Structures are given as C-alpha cells and as structure tokens.
C-alpha cells in the first residue's frame, strides 16, 4: 500500500514489550486527537515485529503487520486492558538469524542482523512521518536508534516495574500496585487460617518499586528488592516476629523477581534469552519460601512454620486499567500530539513531581531508574521508610 494519501501527515503508533493495562487508552488518546487535527494514524502490530515483517508490495496482505486506525476502532478498545495492536519483544537491530522474516532471509543471514534499514524503508513506504512507540526502556531504546537515524520519534513510557528513567510514572504501574494489594489481601485469609508465612513474588527485574509501594500501603510486613541483597536469616527473624505479634498468626513478604540472597545472584526460570538479552526470571519466591520454612524453628520455639508461596505474575498485568492508568495514558497521548503539532521530536513524555512534561528521548538509554536504598529502603527492617512525605511524588518514586 505505497503512497498513502496524506492529509496533514501520517503518524505511526506501536506497543512493545510486556502488556499492561493502560495501553489501549493511550492508543485511543493519540488516535482521536490526531484524527481531529487532520492526521492519519497507522497502528503497527506486534511491536517492532510488525514494521519489520512488512512486505513492500502493493497487493501483498500486510494486515498482520499494520492497520489504519479509526475512532470507532480505538473507542471500542479504549476502556480495556492489554493492547489491541498486540506486542512482542522484537529487537530489529539485533535480530537472530532464525527470527529474520522469510522474505529477508537471503539478504540477512548472519547470526545477528541489523534490520534497521528495512524498518526505515517500511516506515517510508507506509508514509509514516512521525512514530510514537509506547514501551519500556528496551522498546524505547530502539526508538532512540531510529531517531538517531533520522526518524521523528515521540515516545510514551510504559512498564509495570515503573523503571523507565526520566519519569516518575510509567503506564501500568498503578494497576499493578492495585492488583498486588487486592490479591495479597485475598490471600491473607488462607495465610491466617493456617498461621503461615505468605510469600508473594512480584515483578521487578532491576527495580523494586512493585514490591516497595504495596508494602508501604500496608499490603505486606516486609519486602525484598533487587537493589539490596538480603540475609535470609534476617528476613526469617523479622517475619517470625511479625507473625508472633499478629493476632491471626501470619506474616507477609513481597519478593521482587530480581531480588537476590546475600552472596547470590538472580534466579532464572530458564537460560534462554529474549531479543534484548534478558533471561526469564522466576523462582526466587519459591526459594525464599523454602528457606523460611527451614529456618522458622530457630525463631518459633523449635516449631516449623509452613508457608504459602505464590507468583503474582500475569495476574497483576491482566484485566482493565484502574483510574490512574486510564487518566495518565490519555494525558500522555495528548502530550505526544502537542509535541508533534509544534514540530518537536526526539522527546519522551513524562510525569515529574506531579506535573506533565517532556524530556530528551535519550534519557532512556543514558541512565537507570532504581530504588534509592539509602533514602527509601530500611535495610535493617527490610521495608520502605520515608523520613517525610512533604513535596514527594504521588508514588514516592522519582525519575532520577
């Protein structure tokens, strides 16, 4: 479908990486505003995969790779969770030989291939002049690459880990926290009925916000996070104390999937890596659970305390967005259009200290966003601590 008839211009939009609630409201906000401003909007399907796999032939069926968006399409999806454009963890700049689209395999047959020239050609073929990627630091890092290669890019941060640098808030985080609190509270009845330790593994590869914030809200007694390697004996003693002082005789700990024992490393579910080199995390919660049971007699008059271990995983990223993940994506989408209308590109829309703003796009590759342990995490009590809430961001996390 070469030579799309343009009105004011053509905007492309995609969602990459893990799904979160709030993606469809963001797509809706971008599309409705853009259409009313006289633009055409093309939704690129399956993240960076769709734009990589396009076949530049007029009569070829590329419906699996992109679709023209209308108000009717985005209105129907706008209140729902997930992403109707679908997603993937494709990385066009580092594509394995086995992942190269079939029609390009003769041209790109090395063990690792950079398909960026094809991506740029496909964007031009579609007539896309400005691209809005919605994703975490992996997805957006490739957006930085395209911007450096000449593509106009305005990015929107998304990840339940809330760890995209530069912004206090990423789409999906509030719903993740809300779900974590709800599920933890539901599981309290079982933990209390059996007088057990409740061990819940939550998302968070490098940043512990998804364990910290629900704990701060009262969902758990303790939390362990990737930024601080913890002593399991210390955790066992603290949880035993919490349990003993609880009339229902149970205690709760949230364990980030990237948390590490003192002297240990991250626990992986398998050794294979995704397109960005990340191994699949999983299992630290089960190990913590086993160790707590093993150590419990030491702090419980010689008696063993049994455990309930649960990975929250996709339970907290499925379903509809909460209020914040309905409002912030709407604002982010309109912020992106404001920049495009002004002719400004190479920016990341952000929330900073309670106010919407934008920053240079390369902030996502030039820094890391993790919990400031010295300021926000009590290493003696293995839980959040805040000396003052005055002038803090809503979720008490910052973009630095």
- The residues assigned a catalytic role are 161
Rg (CA), the chain: 23
Assigned token pair, 330:
């709407």
Angle at the Cα of 242 (from 240 to 246), degrees rounded to 5?
115
Distance of CA 364 to the CA centre of its chain: 13
Distance of CA 80 to the CA centre of its chain: 17
Residue 242 dihedral angles phi and psi, to the nearest 5°: -60, -45
Alpha carbon distance 359, 140 (integer Å): 13
3-class SS letters over the chain? CCCCCCCCEEEEEEECCCCCCCHHHHHHHHHHHHHHCCEEEEEECCCHHHHHHCCCCCCCCCCCCEEECCHHHHHHHCCCCCCCCCCCCCCHHHEEHHHCCHHHCCCCCCCEECCHHHHHHHHHHHCCCEEEEEECHHHHHHHHHHHHCCCEEEEEEECCCCCCCCCCCCECHHHHHHHHHHHHHHHHHHHHHHCCEEEEEECCCCCCHHHHHHHHCCCCCEEECCCCCECHHHHHHHHHHHHHHCCCCCEEEEEECCCCECCCCCCEEEEEECCCCCEEECCHHHHHHHHHHHHHHHHCCCCCCCEEEEECHHHHCCCCCCCHHHHHHHHHHHHHHHHHHCCCCCEEEEEECCEEEEEECCHHHHCCCCCCHHHHEECCCCEECCCCCCCCCCCCCCCC
């Amino acid at each position: 479908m070469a030579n799309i008839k343009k009105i004011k211009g053509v905007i492309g939009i995609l969602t990459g990486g893990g799904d979160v609630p709030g993606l469809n409201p963001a797509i809706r906000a971008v599309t409705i505003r853009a259409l009313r401003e006289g633009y055409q909007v093309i939704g690129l399907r399956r993240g960076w995969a769709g734009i990589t796999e396009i076949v530049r032939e007029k009569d070829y069926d590329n419906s699996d790779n992109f679709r023209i968006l209308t108000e009717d399409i985005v209105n129907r999806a706008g209140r729902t969770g997930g992403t109707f454009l679908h997603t993937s963890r494709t990385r066009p700049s580092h594509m394995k030989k086995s992942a190269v689209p079939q029609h390009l395999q003769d041209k790109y047959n090395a063990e690792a291939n950079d398909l960026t020239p094809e991506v740029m050609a496909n964007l031009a073929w579609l007539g896309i002049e400005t691209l809005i990627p919605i994703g975490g630091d992996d997805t957006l890092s490739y957006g930085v690459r395209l911007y450096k290669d000449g593509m106009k890019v305005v990015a929107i941060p998304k990840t339940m880990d809330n760890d995209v640098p530069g912004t206090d808030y990423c789409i999906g985080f509030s719903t993740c926290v809300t779900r974590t609190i709800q599920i933890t509270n539901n599981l309290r009845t079982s933990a209390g009925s059996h007088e057990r330790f409740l061990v819940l593994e939550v998302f968070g590869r490098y940043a512990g916000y998804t364990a910290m914030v629900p704990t701060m809200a009262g969902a758990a007694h303790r939390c362990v996070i990737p930024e601080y390697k913890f002593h399991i004996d210390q955790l066992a003693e603290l949880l035993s104390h919490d349990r003993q002082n609880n009339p229902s005789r149970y205690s709760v700990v949230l364990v980030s999937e990237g948390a590490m024992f003192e002297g240990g490393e991250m626990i992986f579910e398998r050794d294979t890596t995704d397109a960005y080199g990340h191994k699949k995390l999983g299992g630290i919660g089960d190990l913590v659970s086993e160790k707590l049971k093993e150590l419990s007699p030491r702090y419980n008059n010689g008696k063993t305390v049994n455990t309930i271990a649960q990975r929250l995983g996709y339970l907290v990223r499925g379903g509809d967005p909460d209020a914040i993940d309905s409002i912030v994506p709407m604002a982010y989408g309109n912020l992106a259009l404001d920049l495009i209308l002004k002719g400004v590109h190479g920016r990341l829309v952000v929330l900073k200290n309670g106010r919407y703003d934008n920053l240079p796009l390369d902030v996502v590759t030039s820094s890391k966003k993790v919990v400031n342990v010295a300021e926000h995490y009590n290493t003696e009590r293995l839980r959040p601590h805040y000396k003052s809430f005055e002038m803090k961001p809503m979720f008490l996390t910052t973009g630095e």
